[in-house]
Structure 1
Amino acid sequence: MNSGALDLSRVQFAFTVSFHIIFPAISIGLAGFIAVLEGRYLLTGKQYYKELCQFWSKIFAVAFGMGVVSGVVMAYQFGMNWSGFSKFAGPVTGVLLTYEVMTAFFLEAGFLGIMLFGWEKVGRRAHFAATVLVAVGTLISTFWILSSNSWMQTPQGFAIQDGHAVPVDWLKIIFNPSFPFRLVHMTLAAFLVAALIVSASGAWQLIRSRRDPEILTMYSMALWLLLIFAPIQAIVGDQHALNTLKYQPAKIAAIEGLWETEQGGTALNLVGLPDMAAEETRYAIRVPHLGSLILTHTWDGQIRGLKSFPKDERPNSPLVFWSFRLMVGMGVLMILTAVIGLFLRRGGRLYQVRWFHWLTVFMGPTGIISLIAGWVTTEAGRQPWVVYGILRTSEAVSPIQAQSAGLTLLIFIMVYFLVFGTGVYYILKLISRGPDHSDTVPSAEEDEFSAVASGRRPLAAAE
């Protein structure tokens, strides 16, 4: 095994998981949004709620399908590129992923067909129950995936026997110390991803001068979700940071670009250029004591610097330093956008201010950007461990050659951009078209198109 094959395997997994995480996040957020829409339809009987359900269900179906496909690829990589990890951690992570398949995936697969194609085949309440169960299934899937990944971050409840992590206490494994914070953080992130996409879609239609109930409803609902969840996410992120400081102090030091253990209060590096070789953060703009206030909630709290950890156990500080600030920066913009929307709403100008509509259009991708930046922070910050403090990444990789890892990485890049690029392009075309308006009489061309688009096939919804 050489370092070239290790680095290429890491890049390959990072590439595939970055593509993958986008689609489950969209699915989780949209599933809950669709369930709320359908619940409103049952309560009010207003047709535009049904139109919105059917429109966003098409996008959900495509995202769900691409998430399943990209997830299968990752599962194969565990055996092909990371056999050392599978051999060591398989008795724990393999069981957790099996639970995910047997509960969440079976639930989603069982009721997804009714949700997508059963509008005219089952009763309203039965259809709503199917939609809710699909939404619950996405949350159960999140539960098991985050439990498995959190165990890799804060492992407990196991014993090492003959080179394997053998389960001893399943409750401790599942509900490991970082799991509650990471579960809530990821779930809220998925809801924010969906809210930003929906609000961007609504804003785009407002810019095109559409003012029908479908557009106004989804735009308003998305901005309410953003106003509620973005501040809560900031609070959850703060609690997650406190947990990380306790169990992964090297990650926090790398995120903050902190090299020395400062006595009497730790300053916060707002920006700077961490230098791993020189063991310093160049051109840092520092605020005294702010690091202690944020990370320990005290004026003089002490935070260990990177120099207190062995060099071979330090995460890549430049990478996580900037990925974390990108995530936080996107979060601040989300809160600011939601607050501006609230002021415009109170002034009765939410649907009239064009510059704000353009702002929400440009904010559409920020949920995905923040999501990926957050995962880069948590995964790169765990290095050089794949199971923190127990199994090094260099010990987890398969005995493959750099040429093989490089070739498969190249193939993945080409295939992913072709397949998933096409899927993303299709979703964007569908969002650009917007939901049908049930109160308008379509032209002959639109009527012919709608006969196909409003039918039983999600992929027939865009030209």
Structure 2
Amino acid sequence: MDALMLSRIQFAVTAGFHFIFVPLTLGLVVLIAFMQTVYVRTGDRDYLRMTKFWGKLFLINFAIGVVTGITLEFQFGMNWAEYSKYVGDIFGAPLAIEATVAFFLESVFLGIWIFGWKKVSKRVHLFSIWMVALGSNLSALWILIANGWMQHPVGYTIINGRAELTDFTAVILSPYAWLKFFHTATSGWVIGAFFVMGVSAYHLLKGNEVQIFKKSMKTAAIFGLFSSLAVAGIGDFHAAEVAKTQPSKFAAMESIWETEKGAPVILFAIPDEEGERNSVELFPIPKLASFMAFKEWNAEVTGLRDIPAKDRPPVTPVFLGFRLMVGLGALFILLAGTALYYLRKGTLSNKKWLLRALLYSIPLPYIAAQLGWIVAEVGRQPWIVYGLMRTEDGVSVNLTTQQVAISLAGFFIFYGTLMLIDFYLLFKFSAKGPEKEGRRTAEAV
């Protein structure tokens, strides 16, 4: 492999590792803020214990997630210097705002929340966790505005071989960026909800702290059902935006080879990229791809054969990634809805099969989120900035294969170690359960 491919693998590995931690932060902090709100409004001490228990798990994940994110931005200068030269005038602005506004907002109020028990009023303390939730999601917004520009560049002009910013408003109000943000943020909420549901199911199966974990399960099931439905709805609008701005990606997502009106969705296919066709097609749904793309049943969808081969993304990983992501999304709606149904009937504790399913489902939203990034980023290829700059032109010119190989090996070891530490600590403190009501809890109020 050459330096280009190794650099692509390195960024994929580091971004993928980082995104193991980010979505749980986005989702879990909202649930914690809601739990603390219930405690402050009602005085129900169960919600205080829930806040502290889930808050401890949030802090473990947050601390390790921050470490994994630091190295990402350095790669723009080290591995992707040509890209940085070309788009730095535009790409750097959202990232600078993320670091100086959103991350500082998140970090300052997180400090108040961690150290402010009994040192500030209950309402100030509650306000701090909601600000952490706001800061976390704002941080995601600015990063995804930057990524959204790579997917659909707007508000720029080319001067002396560089993309220079001409309309900052167009960049920050890009429909592509906002749809991507809401789709990503709500997927993080799903991860947070299913994490809480899975851990709660573990304790309900063991009969531990039943009252606490029934309340946690109910809170997470409601949030998980809402978030799963939101992901599906926003994803539909996002697919339409992709069809308008990135027809090659949409064609790969559906493995559509021929341009046609009333294009179907093929539920299962085996793409044959060399033969420019699908070798297997099963369960077609007539005209659905046209409706998804343009909200018209007979709209024309561009096929891959009408896109130059050098401009097509790898079809198989994009098509399969999209199918698996959508299938998992449907499963999340079913699981959250079923859990909520039995909670309302008061029989969830008797449904051991469902509790086990929720426990074993903890990794599935993570997988769905990673698949979404595969669809987004592999589907953008061969462009690092869609339609403007090819990925091969963005790599640093003086980078050697040996340099990237050494750093890639180091990242594997470093990030792998951090992931094992995170999983160990989350498992340890998740299995331990909340602290018993006593002096420490009382003093924290």
Range class of TM-score, shorter chain:
over 0.9
CA contact (8 A) 2:203 2:210 kept: no
Aligned to 2:265: 268
Show the counterpart of 1:442.
none
Equivalent position of 1:201 in the other structure: 199
Which SS does the other structure have where 2:2 is aligned?
A: helix
In the alignment, which of 276, 300, 315 is matched to residue 317 of structure 1?
315
Q: 1:38 to 1:343 in 2, by over 3 A?
A: closer
CA distance in 2, matches of 1:171, 1:298: 30
Residue 296 of structure 1 and its aligned partner are, at CA, apart by 3.1
- DSSP 3-state at the match of 2:435: coil
1:242-293 Cα distance to aligned partner (Å, 9 max, x none): 1110000000011111111124x21222112212212112112141323223
Output the amino acid matched with 1:270: L
Q: CA deviation at 1:165?
A: 1.5
What CA distance in whole angstroms lies between the structure 2 residues aligned with 1:455 and 1:413?
43
Q: Secondary structure at the match of 2:260?
A: coil
Deviations 1:75-128 (A, max 9, x none): 111111111111111111111111111111111221211211211222211211
Across the aligned residues of Structure 1 and Structure 2, the Cα RMSD in angstroms comes to: 1.8
Shift of 1:178: 0.3
Amino acid at match of 2:40: L
CA distance in 1, matches of 2:11, 2:65: 15
Query: Partners of 2:21 and 2:300 in 1: how far apart?
Result: 39
Aligned match of 1:281: 278
1-structure distance, mates of 2:80, 2:436: 50
TM-score normalised by structure 2 residue count: 0.95
Alignment match of 1:61 (pick from 59, 74, 92): 59
For residues 356-367 of structure 1, the aligned pairs below 5 Å read: 356-367=354-365
**For 1:455 and 1:374, how far apart are their aligned partners in 2?**
44
Do the aligned partners of 1:330 and 1:370 also contact (CA within 8 Å) in 2?
Answer: yes
1:29, 1:194 within 8 Å by CA — same for their partners in 2? yes
Unpaired runs of 5+ in structure 2? Answer: none
Helix, strand or coil at the partner of 2:301: coil
SS at match of 1:94: helix
Partners of 2:244 and 2:293 within 8 A in 1:
no
Amino acid at match of 1:40: V
2:385 aligned partner: 387
1:50–1:397: structure 2 CA closer, same or farther, 3 Å change rule?
same
Q: Secondary structure at the match of 2:380?
A: coil
Q: Is the 8 A contact 1:255 1:321 kept in 2?
A: yes
- Aligned partner of 1:331 in structure 2 is 329
Q: Which residue of structure 2 aligns with residue 431 of structure 1?
A: 430
- Once residues 225 and 270 of structure 1 are traced to their aligned partners in structure 2, the CA distance between those partners, rounded to angstroms, is 29
Aligned runs of 1:11-410 on 2, under 5 Å? 11-263=9-261, 265-287=262-284, 288-399=286-397, 400-410=399-409
Amino acid at match of 1:406: A
The one-character-per-residue Cα deviations of 1:405-446 (angstroms, maximum 9, x if unpaired) are 22221221112111222122211221122223428xxxxxxx
Query: Which range is displaced more, 364-373 or 426-435?
Result: 426-435
Identity of matched residues, %: 36
Corresponding letter in the other structure for 1:226: G
Bigger drift between 381-390 and 27-36 goes to 27-36
* Partner SS state of residue 239, structure 1: helix
- Normalised by the size of structure 1, how large is the TM-score? 0.92
Amino acid of the residue matched to residue 415 of structure 1? F
Q: Distance in 1 between matches of 2:345 and 2:40?
A: 31
Q: Secondary structure at the match of 2:423?
A: helix
